[in-house]
Structure 1
Amino acid sequence: MKIWIRGAGDLATGIASRLYRSGHQLLMTELPVPLTVRRTVALSRAVYEQHAEVEDMSALLVHSIKEALEVQAIGKIPVIIEEPEVILKEYQPDVVVDAILAKRNLGTEISWAPFVVGVGPGFTAGVDCHCVVETKRGHTLGDVIWKGEPIPNTGVPGNVGGFTLERLIKATADGVIEPKVQIGDIVEKGQLVAITGGKPVYAKMSGIVRGMLQPGVTVQKNLKAGDIDARCERKNCYLISDKARAIGGGVLEAVTQFERIYGQYAVVVLAAGSGSRFGGNKLQELKSDKPMYQYMLDKMEGLKGFPTYIVTGADDIAEAAKKYGMNIVENKKPEEGISRSVKLGLEACLAEHPEIRGILFSVCDQPELTFSTMFTLIRKAMLRPQQIICTGKDKEMGNPVLWDKKYFSELMKLTGDVGGKKVMQNHLQDIIIVEIDEAELKDIDYRRDLE
């Protein structure tokens, strides 16, 4: 897969190592002046040295996407200084991994690529990315989070060799840094290790200098400028850290899951109901100043990697859906029941994607349904093939429902105002319920439901 990694620091390089060794094509972007402390194990070094070697990886600084592709063709990793707009337009990645590690999102959006991974605090899975990888040391380091946020930034570095804050070398003043020791040197507590802005910086502990900013970089007071390791193993100065490898493993797990579902599943949204119980066209009804159908369309921003269809008889819904790249399936006879919409959506999808493994059917009147829930159903279908995957609460089944291709023929036999639940009753042993919040399951059938 074509993967763009934002950032090329030591943790981003750990991520790159996992993906590179798994055969993916990588492009990494960096700042004009990288501020990577552990630069001996970071491909960001290519920015000011033109090339960088880390373990079995070789990176080259490039100045265009054309040049980047040429570097990829010889098994090396291109590092480029470029704006996101250019990368997205010219490289068109399958996957974006934001590994800037800024503790906040610097602009990455879930719509940037078919699959977007956030790394560390500042991201929310299902909102600005598809998933987030945990970066906090501990038992959950490297975990893939598919809904919500990782552990917040505490401001305290992880424990390495029994030390936390003491192992940091921080700038004492604004200005240019002049290192007085090199990476790999053994230093004693209280020893002069650098000068920043004309003021001395002293080691707060004894150990080996594992990281130090390159000479001549402009720093601000209290910026992390170096790192000391009490374990004093020189080889570790030139090896990707255990933390970076764990985070890289999490990213690889996420990318591999996506690779298994990319283009293998489709989404059909049913939006052709008559709204008889509501007493009008409920999908155009405003909820918090937004038409109800728009809540579902907004989720399509994160589904670029999947064929998406909407079954509707409303011209305004069809026009809005086209803007999200959805395929329009017209149903001007909603009075014939939901079975007609199900079959129309299924027929349209299979006509274009006969080898599709499964289809997620979702209704358009569940405004609180989250993108994370929809994506979880697709991932679960990949892990549990030939099953019916649905949402629910306390073992009560609800919508959406992901149907394996095994059940398509039965869905095509539905008639009248009968949906997939009739088929589900015939295969209760094949149903897997994904428990979600009750609010997500609530559909709007009556006007009072809007309250």
Structure 2
Amino acid sequence: MKILIKGAGDLATGIASRLYHSGHQILMTEIAVPLTVRRIVALSRAVYEKEALVEDMKGVLVTCMKEAEAVLAAGDIPVIIDEHAAIAEEYHPDVVIDAILAKKNLGTRIIDAPFVIGVGPGFTAGEDCHCVVETKRGHTLGSTIYEGSAIPNTGVPGNVGGYTIERLIRASAPGRIEPLVSIGDVVEKGQVVALTGGKEVYAQMSGIVRGMLQSGVEVSENLKIGDIDARCEIDHCFTISDKARSVGGGVLEAVTRFEHMRQNYAMVVLAAGRSVRFGDNKLLAAISGRPLYQHTLDRMQAFGDFPQYLVTGYDSIAKEAKEQGIQTVMNYEPKLGISHSIRLGLEACLEEHPDIQGILFSVCDQPNLKAATIQRILNTASVHRGQIICAGNPLRPGNPVLWDRMFFDELGGLTGDNGGRKIMSRLHDKVRYVEAQSEELKDIDLKDDILE
């Protein structure tokens, strides 16, 4: 797949290594003056050296998409100075990975690509990305998170060789940095290892210099400019770290999972009910300042790579769905019950995608449903084929529900106001549940259900 990695530092390079060796096409963006301490093992070095070799990968500085395509054709990795990743508009990546490691989100959105990964703290799965990968050293390093966030930044670096904060080399004053030692040199505690703004910087421990900023860079006081490793393994200075490989493994897992499911599932939104209990068209009722149906359309944008269908009898809703790229199926006979909407959606999907593995059916009156819950349903379906995946639990099953293709005939045979619950009631052993908060599963049926 085409993958854009925001950032080309040592951790981003470890991610690139995992993806590159798995056959994916990588393009990386960087800022004009990279501040990568472990620069020898970072493709960001290409920004000021034009090319950077890290193990068997070569990063090449480019200035436009045409140059990037030539580098990709040669089997290498283009690196472009592009702080806001504007090149994505030309590149059209399948996956965007924010590996800037700013400890906060600098502008990445869940709709920036079919699949978006946030690396480290500052991202929330289901809100600004589909998946977060943990970067904190320890038991969960490299784990994939599909709901919630990574462990918050503590400000204390991970333990390496028995040392934490002592292993960092920090600028003693603002100004230009002048390294007095090189990466790979062994230093002693108290030794002067650099000058910043003309002021001496001392090593806080003995060990090998694993990282040091390039000479001449303007730095601020207390900025991290170097790294010392007590293990004194010279190879560690010139190869991708265990942490970067672990985080890269988590990213590769998430990318591979997405790659396997993207062509296998579709989504059908049911929005043709008569709203009898509500009194008028509830889908137009204002919830948090927007029509009820708009909450569902907004949520669907996070899954734009999956075929999407909206079954409705309302022309205004159909028009907005079409503008968003959702196929619309008109149902002007809602009196025939929900089974008619299910059948219309099922038939429309199978006409265009006869080999689809499963279809997620959702309703249009759940304003609090989270994108993260939909993602977890898709994840569960991808590893439990031949099952029905339902939001909620056995005591409170809810929507959405993803149906494997082996149940399509039964769905198509429903009649009247009978939905999928009738099938599920006799196939308990085929149903798996994805836990969701009760507020997510709440339908807007009555005007009293609307809480501004």
TM-score (norm 1): 0.98
User: 1:112-160 CA deviation, whole Å, 9 max, x = no partner?
Assistant: 1000000001101000000100011110010100011111010110011
Describe the SS at the equivalent of 1:182: coil
Mean Cα deviation higher: 357-366 or 298-307: 298-307
Describe the SS at the equivalent of 1:112: coil
Within 2, Cα distance between the matches of 1:222 and 1:41?
23
User: 1:270-300 CA deviation, whole Å, 9 max, x = no partner?
Assistant: 0010000111111111112111111111112
CA contact (8 A) 1:395 1:435 kept: no
Q: Which amino acid aligns with 1:354?
A: P
Change (3 A) 1:84 1:355: farther
CA contact (8 A) 1:394 1:435 kept: no
Change (3 A) 1:191 1:83: closer
User: 1:212-257 CA deviation, whole Å, 9 max, x = no partner?
Assistant: 0000101111110000001111111001111101100000000000
Which residue does the alignment assign to 1:28? 28
Describe the SS at the equivalent of 1:448: helix
Which residue does the alignment assign to 1:110? 110
Within 2, Cα distance between the matches of 1:141 and 1:47?
29
Percentage of identical aligned residues: 64
Which residue does the alignment assign to 2:152? 152
CA contact (8 A) 1:395 1:433 kept: no
Mean Cα deviation higher: 285-294 or 357-366: 285-294
Within 2, Cα distance between the matches of 1:302 and 1:398?
21
Within 1, Cα distance between the matches of 2:299 and 2:323?
13
Describe the SS at the equivalent of 1:320: helix
Within 2, Cα distance between the matches of 1:120 and 1:428?
39
User: How much does 1:313 deviate?
Assistant: 1.0
User: How much does 1:395 deviate?
Assistant: 3.8
Which residue does the alignment assign to 2:221? 221
CA contact (8 A) 1:284 1:292 kept: yes
User: 1:158-193 CA deviation, whole Å, 9 max, x = no partner?
Assistant: 011111111111011111100000000011111111
User: How much does 1:324 deviate?
Assistant: 2.1
CA contact (8 A) 2:29 2:85 kept: no
User: How much does 1:85 deviate?
Assistant: 5.8
Change (3 A) 1:15 1:168: same
User: 1:75-127 CA deviation, whole Å, 9 max, x = no partner?
Assistant: 11111112546322110000000000000111111111000000001101000
CA contact (8 A) 1:393 1:437 kept: no
User: How much does 1:263 deviate?
Assistant: 2.2
Within 2, Cα distance between the matches of 1:336 and 1:158?
62
Q: Which amino acid aligns with 1:160?
A: V
CA contact (8 A) 2:369 2:441 kept: yes
Within 2, Cα distance between the matches of 1:427 and 1:69?
51
Which residue does the alignment assign to 1:90? 90
Which residue does the alignment assign to 2:311? 311
Describe the SS at the equivalent of 1:161: coil
Question: Is 1:73 aligned to 2:73, yes or no?
Answer: yes
Aligned residues: 451
Which residue does the alignment assign to 1:352? 352
Which residue does the alignment assign to 1:410? 410
Within 1, Cα distance between the matches of 2:396 and 2:285?
28
Question: Is 1:244 aligned to 2:244, yes or no?
Answer: yes
Matching of residues 45-444 of structure 1 within 5 Å: 45-82=45-82, 84=84, 86-393=86-393, 395-444=395-444
Mean Cα deviation higher: 214-223 or 76-85: 76-85
Within 2, Cα distance between the matches of 1:116 and 1:423?
35
User: How much does 1:396 deviate?
Assistant: 2.8
User: 1:40-79 CA deviation, whole Å, 9 max, x = no partner?
Assistant: 1101111111111111211111121121121112211111
Within 2, Cα distance between the matches of 1:107 and 1:289?
24
User: How much does 1:322 deviate?
Assistant: 2.1
Within 1, Cα distance between the matches of 2:43 and 2:395?
49
User: How much does 1:438 deviate?
Assistant: 1.0
Q: Which amino acid aligns with 1:158?
A: G
User: 1:337-390 CA deviation, whole Å, 9 max, x = no partner?
Assistant: 101110111111111111111000000111111001011111111100011110
Q: Which amino acid aligns with 1:246?
A: S
User: 1:290-312 CA deviation, whole Å, 9 max, x = no partner?
Assistant: 11111111112211210111111
Describe the SS at the equivalent of 1:365: coil
Within 2, Cα distance between the matches of 1:85 and 1:327?
30
Q: Which amino acid aligns with 1:144?
A: T
The list of structure 1 runs, each at least 4 consecutive aligned residues, that deviate by more than 6 angstroms after superposition, is none
CA contact (8 A) 2:31 2:83 kept: no
Q: Which amino acid aligns with 2:171?
A: A
Within 1, Cα distance between the matches of 2:258 and 2:69?
23
User: How much does 1:321 deviate?
Assistant: 1.5
Q: Which amino acid aligns with 2:274?
A: S
Q: Which amino acid aligns with 1:327?
A: Q
Within 2, Cα distance between the matches of 1:130 and 1:91?
20
Change (3 A) 1:310 1:245: same
CA contact (8 A) 2:394 2:433 kept: no
Q: Which amino acid aligns with 2:326?
A: M
CA contact (8 A) 1:300 1:324 kept: no
Stretches of structure 2 that go unaligned for 5 or more consecutive residues are none
